[in-house]
Amino acid sequence: MSLLLAVSDSECDCTECGKRIARGQNVCYDSNDYRFVKHENCSEFFTRQLLKEKIILPWTCPHCNQVEASSRLELIKNFGLRKMSDGTVRNQSWCRECR
């Protein structure tokens, strides 16, 4: 993972500290996933931790369209998690019954 130093083109929230980043402020973007933006002075370590999980909630099974999860505990119980080759943890797509 590498971070790119840039100037924010719109207002957004820092993925580390949660504070507002104003348009025109210096920020760091993850070169692999531009959804992760942080203040220039926030630590890279925390951003790395955020990138390790890409959990989507709420989640519905795309196969049966009946099993749902609206919290992390429900997601683990009904679907489970999977670890990708790059170390990222994501939702299992299909529910346990459909698999």
Beta bridge partners, 26, equal 7
Instruction: Name the nearest CA neighbour of 89 among 97, 81, 80.
Output: 81
Is the pLDDT at 67 greater than 50? The verdict is yes
Would the pTM of this model clear 0.75, i.e. be above it? no
Domain boundaries, the chain: 3-51, 53-91
Q: Tens digits of per-residue pLDDT, 7-54?
A: 777 787 777 777 788 888 877 766 555 556 777 777 654 444 444 678
CATH topology of domain 3-51: Wheat Germ Agglutinin (Isolectin 2); domain 1 (3.30.60)
pLDDT of residue 98: 94
Q: Are the C-beta atoms of 68 and 59 separated by less than 8 Å?
A: yes
Predicted pLDDT of residue 68: 94
